[in-house]
Structure 1
Amino acid sequence: MNAAARQDVIDLFLGKNGWRDVVPVPLVDDASARKYYRLDDGRRTALLMDFPIDAISVDPHGIHENPERPASVAPVMTTTDLFMQAGWRVPAIYASDVSQGLVLIEDFGDLTFTRALDQNGASKPALYLRAVDQLINLHRYCDTKTARARMQAEADLVVYGPDNFRRMLKSFKDDYLPLIIADPVRRNQAMIDFDVMLDGVLPSCWKTGTVIIHRDYHVDNLMLVENDEGGEDCGIIDFQDAAIAPRPYDLVSLLRDVRHDIGSELEASLKDRYCAAFENLDHSDFETSYMACNMVRNFRILGRFGWLAIKAGKRRYFDFIPRCWELILRDADRNLPELAAWIANYIPVEARMAPSLSGARQSSEQGAS
């Protein structure tokens, strides 16, 4: 659909839902095809989510061999209800048209945790403590059998297994490794050995069981939102890709975020706080599971960076690549020696920097010859 036709669809949707003649103001886009706009008529505000059904969407859960899927806003509807049941403060849905990929939602404002840290001088330990406590509350709720059964049945959540993670990491092999290993023979061997390494490491992700995960839980998706008592709640956004997955996954997303370094001391204290909240949790198993989930998440991110650069021409994420490798390797020698050995063998230090796309094109040509 061309831009003019899409705008007509949006205008019709807004007119039907009380926002006629209000001009949507675009917000900064992210790494997805989803777009957000703020609506303001002088008395109230709302956000418009625009996710056209003909947009290219990447399967977030590793269900399909081909990760590119038709876009849909339907998961937004079910996961909103899910997290409201769990007691999280998430944006209310005012109106929707799933067939057109449009949703009108509550506006939480602009004060993300990131902005509060960067511009408002907020306490980093205090904000991260809030975020960890939200996970504790969610996981305590999920640990009750009745709640888990209801949430899974009503939201039709994907339940992750090792095959999901393998498919998620396919992009690391297909879209990222060609950027840094030009020789097709060596790259093929690296892929074979990578799969062998995953055989040993992936089962460790499930050492401490499963919970409902947000899946993209970090300070850019957490907000300070005023409540009716004059205080501030922890508002949570961008949760439409929720799933049932290994317990540490969201904690890893928060504490080992490629964009925000909190330091090893704060990371350790927050992990301890989480573990202390669950008296039957084995701390050694949790640490191993945490490290394995860290590997999965950051390899997946590297694959996404490669895909965005090659398919969408977005190279700005390359600046984060060295930190991705630092996070993958942090404590790997002690906890995941198979992982550390694979990296030492195939990814030398100089290959952990931002790659050049010219190298990717050359390796692609060699592989096709």
Structure 2
Amino acid sequence: MSDRELQRLDFLRKAGLADAVRTPLAGDASTRRYERLTTSSGATLMLMDQPPAAESRSCDPAWTPAQRHASGWNAVARLSAGRIEAFAAVADHLRSLGLSAPEIIAVDAVAGLAVLEDFGDDLFARAIAAGAPEEPLYLAAVEALAALHEAPAPDVLTGPAGDWPLLLYDETALQGGADLFVEWMPRLNPSLAFDQAAIDEWRAAWAPIAARGAAGATVMAHRDYHAENLIRLPHRPGAAGVGLIDFQDAVRAHPSWDLHSLLQDARREVPPALEARALDHYFALRPATDREAFLRDYAGLAALNEARILGVFARLIVRDGKPRYRAFMPRMWAHLNANLKTPGLEPVAGWFDRHVPESDRR
């Protein structure tokens, strides 16, 4: 029996769950693993298992961009490095707003273990695949975002495992994400080659978009808000009927970030008419929003995020041996190509025209 398994058993014993039946769940692209715990009464809970040493350090709020780059990807991107205290603090904040995040039943942040409320398996993506109408689900997801965006975004979140800073999704993080494209796409597609001049041109083209994203960072962003991280909770009213998971990397970001993650999803098609309807619903819920400026930033940051995701998928395929992510790339290319037609994105569109043939953008 491994040392980690002994640690899990000791944690469950202390939580009064030594006799729970443990059922592992399928993994994703992260270093976390989950188990469903079934108690003797038939109730279910979730065990979150995030080994603390599995990832590079998270970002110290005082670090300079140079220090962040020297400390690894989690610091550059301001990811939580899977820290349990981040998940617990974000969950408490979301629940304080009347939104549905899992209750923390037991937690040991040092060990990287937590027992959570179980929201079940009724993910939006699965429900839609099984025939549920998608528009009500997407509009509910927008209502949850609007509620989150109307609330203040505190500098520090407090939770049962300790405080956690809500860091700015700043220009270093945004540009670092975009740079994954020029770093990893040539390794996946050797016909692409970007010399230093091309990389400098790339960064200059994205710089004003990253600057607007950082300047407009006024709300808490879930940061991975899409139909596979949202769960139907039909017995809860309004926005609380949207179960939120996988939010441990929350940051202070532009309010468009979670919207384009939801509506220009890498994993499933969202019809353009539904995207437009959802955006209209958001503006109706937040009438003070400058729609024209918002949509300009929405397209620019969506394009940046799509370049980032293409780089992430290339890395997952090449470095991590996960070829299944190739199937998602055509959808991301389609979204990126469409967004590059937006006025104001001419420098980025021009870069792609010069350096990435159309035959490689699909």
Check whether TM > 0.5: yes
Q: Which amino acid aligns with 2:13?
A: G
TM-superposed CA distance for 1:234, in Å, is: 1.5
Task: Map Cα deviations across residues 305-335 of structure 1 (whole Å, 9 max, x no partner).
Answer: 1222233211211111111111112142233
* CA distance 1:226–1:273, change in 2 (3 Å): closer
Match of 2:264 among 253, 256, 262: 256
CA distance in structure 1 between the partners assigned to 2:98 and 2:156 by the alignment: 12
* Matches of 1:228 and 1:221, distance apart in 2: 17
| Deviation of the 1:79 alpha carbon | 0.7
Q: Do 2:218 and 2:255's aligned partners in 1 also have CA atoms closer than 8 Å?
A: yes
For residue 54 of structure 1, what is the aligned residue in structure 2? 53
**Equivalent position to 2:127, from 116, 133, 152:** 116
Mapped to 2, the partners of 1:156 and 1:29 lie a distance apart of 27
**Cross-structure match for 1:346:** 355
Q: Which runs of 5+ in 2 are unaligned?
A: 76-80
User: Residues 100-115 of structure 1: matches in 2 within 5 Å?
Assistant: 100-115=111-126
Indicate whether 1:7 and 2:5 are aligned: yes
Instruction: Tell me which residue corresponds to 1:172.
Output: 181
Q: In 2, are the aligned partners of 1:82 and 1:151 still within 8 Å (CA)?
A: no
SS at match of 1:64: helix
Hey, what does 1:236 align to over in structure 2? 244
Question: How far off its partner does 1:21 sit?
Answer: 3.4
CA contact (8 A) 2:185 2:192 kept: no
What is the deviation of 1:68? Answer: 5.2
Q: Conserved in 1, the CA contact under 8 Å of 2:46 and 2:117?
A: yes
* Whole-angstrom distance in 1 between the partners of 2:121 and 2:57: 26
User: Which of 134, 140, 145 is 1:130 aligned to?
Assistant: 140
- The verdict on how the C-alpha distance between 1:218 and 1:123 changes in structure 2, with shifts beyond 3 A counting, is same
| Correspondence for 1:315 | 323
- The residue correspondences of 1:1-369 to structure 2 (distance < 5 A) are 4-43=2-41, 44-56=43-55, 64-65=68-69, 66-67=72-73, 71-119=82-130, 121-142=131-152, 148-149=153-154, 155-182=164-191, 184=193, 186-205=194-213, 210-227=218-235, 233-335=241-343, 336-353=345-362
- Structure 1 range deviating more: 304-313 or 95-104: 304-313
State the shift of 1:74 in Å: 1.8
> Which amino acid in 2 is paired with 1:309?
I
User: Does the CA-based 8 Å contact 1:173-1:303 persist in structure 2?
Assistant: yes
The superposition leaves residues 163-187 of structure 1 with CA deviations (integer Å, 9 ceiling, x where unpaired) of: 2211223322222233235465x44
3-state SS of 2:26 partner:
coil
RMSD: 2.6
Percent identity among equivalent residues?
31
Partners of 2:184 and 2:216 lie apart in 1 by 31
Q: Contact 2:20 / 2:40 at 8 angstroms: preserved in 1? A: no
Structure 1 residues 219 and 326: alpha-carbon distance in aligned structure 2, compared to 1, 3 A threshold:
same
In structure 2, the CA distance between the partners of 1:24 and 1:58, relative to structure 1 (3 Å rule), is: farther
User: TM-score, normalising length from structure 2?
Assistant: 0.87
**Distance in 2 separating the partners of 1:116 and 1:71:** 28
Unpaired segments ≥5 residues, structure 1: 143-147, 354-369
Contact 2:223/2:257 (<8 A) preserved: yes
- Quick check: 1:224–1:232 contact (8 Å CA) kept in 2? no
**Per-residue Cα deviation, 1:17-50 (whole angstroms, up to 9, x for no partner):** 1211334211111110111110112421100001
Scaled by the length of structure 1, the TM-score of the pair is 0.85
Closer/same/farther in 2, CA of residues 180 and 193 from structure 1, 3 Å limit: farther
1:243 positional shift: 0.7
Give how far 1:72 is off: 2.4
Q: Is the 8 A contact 1:177 1:187 kept in 2?
A: no
Contact 1:82 1:155 (8 Å CA) reproduced: no
Shift of 1:155: 4.1
CA separation in 2, counterparts of 1:58 and 1:316? 28
Q: Is the 8 A contact 2:333 2:361 kept in 1?
A: yes
Indicate how the Cα distance of structure 1 residues 122 and 341 shifts in structure 2: closer, same or farther if over 3 A, else same. same
Q: 1: CA distance between counterparts of 2:255 and 2:84? A: 26
**Distance in 2 separating the partners of 1:171 and 1:105:** 33
Asked if the contact 2:177–2:305 (Cα under 8 Å) also holds between the matched residues in 1, the reply is: no
